[in-house]
Amino acid sequence: MPRPDSDAIDYTALSFPDPPPDRPFVAINMVMSADGRTVVDGTERGLGSMLDQRLMRELRVHFDVVMNGGATFRASGTSARLNDPGLEQWRLDRGMTPSPIAAVLTRSGDLPPERRFFTDDGFQAVIYLSSAAPAAARRELEARGRPVVSVPEEAEAVAALDHMKRELGATRVLVEGGATLNGELIQRGLVDEYFLTLAPRIAGGDTAHPAVQWPGEPTAASIRQMSLIHARPAQTGELFLRYRLEPVRD
């Protein structure tokens, strides 16, 4: 697929540090308007350009698993497909599967059956279902053919990452939202890098839809410090940012 922008931004050339000894390396990738919104018309798809979509796929090639939370699944679906033979070949040349494994973490089990996650068997996928979900929800999900892994309530994200490392052999996990999943992982000190596309758009509205959220008001103690790895402007007006999260200090 031809590059949709003349800027020489190539995410297939990125390199990453080794994962921590006890879990996969975790990165978050989000797109956000200039006024801090990540959702327009119920989805994030209207914010990024074709270049942003291209770089999202290029970023995915480095990861073993691409994970979403349940709300993002309901809004936009979850698919780890790259939709590009060249990117699939890039992975095959490095001994990887053509596409990463798609994963969704859900507390309720409310996942629409018409999503590509269930209807397309061209990629591997796994559902992480909270132990708090109704038994009927688990039975319904299991009947759809994708593996369902039970994870303990209040520690769902930690358990999901542990399963990815132990059972799936994952060394890198890419999280593509939503805000609640991003927030839980960051609060627990489980995120290593944060990719952000800053779109040249003002979304407005009176609903925040941030990229990261957790309960309560922001405080000085809750702030997580990051260091900038790169900031790459594009002719689309977008700014492509990559940050490293600083370790949590006790």
Q: Is there a contact between 30 and 52 (Cβ–Cβ < 8 Å)?
A: no
Q: How many other β-carbons are positioned within 10 Å of the β-carbon of residue 104? A: 26
- DSSP type of residue 133: S
Q: State the pTM of this model.
A: 0.94
What tens digit of pLDDT does each residue of 146-183 get? 999 999 999 999 999 999 999 999 999 999 999 999 99
Paired strand residues for 241: 196, 231
Percentage of the chain modeled with pLDDT above 90: 78
What tens digit of pLDDT does each residue of 26-40 get? 999 999 999 888 877
Which superfamily, per CATH, for 22-204+225-245? Answer: Dihydrofolate Reductase, subunit A (3.40.430.10)
Q: Residue 47's pLDDT band (boundaries 50, 70, 90)?
A: confident
Q: Residue 7's pLDDT band (boundaries 50, 70, 90)?
A: low
What mean pLDDT comes out for the span 102-114?
A: 96
Nearest Cα to 176, choosing from 16, 11, 42, 29?
29
